[in-house]
Amino acid sequence: MIQVGQYPAPSHVVAHISDTHLLAGGAPLYGKVATDAHLKQALEQLERSSIRPDALVFTGDLADLGEPDAYTRLRGIVEPVAERLGAQLIWVMGNHDERLQYSAELFDETPNDAPQDRVYDVNGLRIISFDTSVPGYHHGDVTDDQLAWLEDVLRTPAPHGTLLAVHHPPIPTPLLEAMGMLELRDQSRLERVIRGTDVRAVLAGHLHYSTHSTFAGVPVSVAAATCYTLDLTAEQRLLSGVDFGQSMTIVHVYEDRTVHSIVPVGSPEEITGQPDSAWDVIESMTPEQREQMFSAKRSPFNLGEQAD
């Protein structure tokens, strides 16, 4: 495909998916939410699209109760897709996950309850899976040893910089004040480690709604969830989970920035569009012809004629 805008192609593409909350046996969450089906729908959309991610990053709460079968099911659903896409698969621990089962079932390791921190090289882009979970609790925290490890890893810059993938986002949650009780504690400690390093962006989950901010001078992008989302406009509710509005986030990494785009999960009816074959016409045109065809308001294309 030719370049028709000012920006060349990104160096890396990452599919950022979060909070799958699978249960053993494919049981519906809260008796109602088809978590397996929602995840499969997200992955089907990814595969049928022209998005070709270099990595699939799942930012935690992979299994709702940390059950071994939930992790086995997760691998069964996700691994074949990652393989077909040629994408590296990167898991991150969430507060609903359990380290023993997570390490054993997702990594085929001897079960261990150590923080599940791992480093990946995705064609020169470093992605760090950093465990912010606290065994037995839902809030987030990290140990001094983890911070020392992270500081050591970040001491050597990666060719294309680093994405830090965590579950608990280090940002305020003004639309969900109650989440303050379950946020990442003592965030200034992590901030000191990240500031001034090659970390390009922080990817997170946990909130079940998409939001963006900055932390330590870098962008933070929170992917919503594939299971259920939180209705931030619900009346007189501390929390209100709804089986609606699921999404994933696609991250494009450019030389000087990252772009985070939210992709809704679902199968709505198309109400307007053009076939992909229009690219053949576009490629045969000069920039001036493209301007007259696609930008000019009164062009045949914009007056309703097909580009092909």
Our CB check for Fe ion shows the closer of 197 and 246 to be: 246
Phi-psi region of 27 (alpha: psi -120 to 50; beta: other; left: phi over 0): beta
61 binds Fe ion (CB under 5 A): yes
Q: At closest approach, how far in Å is the CB of 192 from Fe ion?
A: 24
Q: Largest alpha-carbon pair distance within the chain?
A: 66
Sheet strands side by side (includes 247-253): 88-91, 55-58, 12-17, 247-253, 258-264
Tell me how far the alpha carbon of residue 1 is from its chain's centroid. 26
Q: If you compute the radius of gyration of the chain from its CA atoms, what whole number of angstroms results?
A: 21
Q: At closest approach, how far in Å is the CB of 255 from Fe ion?
A: 33
CA dihedral 200, 103, 41, 32 (to 10 degrees): -120
How many Cβ atoms sit within 10 Å of the Cβ of residue 93?
Answer: 27
Q: At closest approach, how far in Å is the CB of 236 from Fe ion?
A: 23
Among 14, 15, 19, 165, binds Fe ion (CB under 5 A): 19
Q: Are 143 and 156 in contact (CB under 8 A)?
A: no
Our CB check for Fe ion shows the closer of 129 and 197 to be: 129
Residues facing 122 on adjacent strands = 125
Span from 16-24, 125-133, 171-179, 246-254 in contact with Fe ion (CB under 5 A): 16-24
C-alpha closest to that of 53 among 11, 1, 5, 91: 11
Q: At closest approach, how far in Å is the CB of 20 from Fe ion?
A: 9
Specify the length of the chain in residues.
Answer: 308
Tell me how far the alpha carbon of residue 32 is from its chain's centroid. 24
Our CB check for Fe ion shows the closer of 160 and 206 to be: 206
Q: At closest approach, how far in Å is the CB of 208 from Fe ion?
A: 6
Alpha carbon distance 199, 297 (integer Å): 42
Our CB check for Fe ion shows the closer of 20 and 88 to be: 20
Q: At closest approach, how far in Å is the CB of 33 from Fe ion?
A: 12
Q: At closest approach, how far in Å is the CB of 49 from Fe ion?
A: 25
Our CB check for Fe ion shows the closer of 104 and 134 to be: 134
User: What mask, x for binding Fe ion by CB under 5 A, covers residues 83 to 112?
Assistant: -----------xx-----------------
Our CB check for Fe ion shows the closer of 12 and 21 to be: 21
Alpha carbon distance 36, 70 (integer Å): 10
Span from 39-47, 60-68, 275-283, 287-295 in contact with Fe ion (CB under 5 A): 60-68
241 binds Fe ion (CB under 5 A): no
Q: Give how many residues touch Fe ion by CB under 5 A.
A: 5
> Rule CB under 5 A: which of 202-221 touch Fe ion?
206
Q: At closest approach, how far in Å is the CB of 31 from Fe ion?
A: 17
* Site residues for Fe ion per CB under 5 A: 19, 61, 94-95, 206
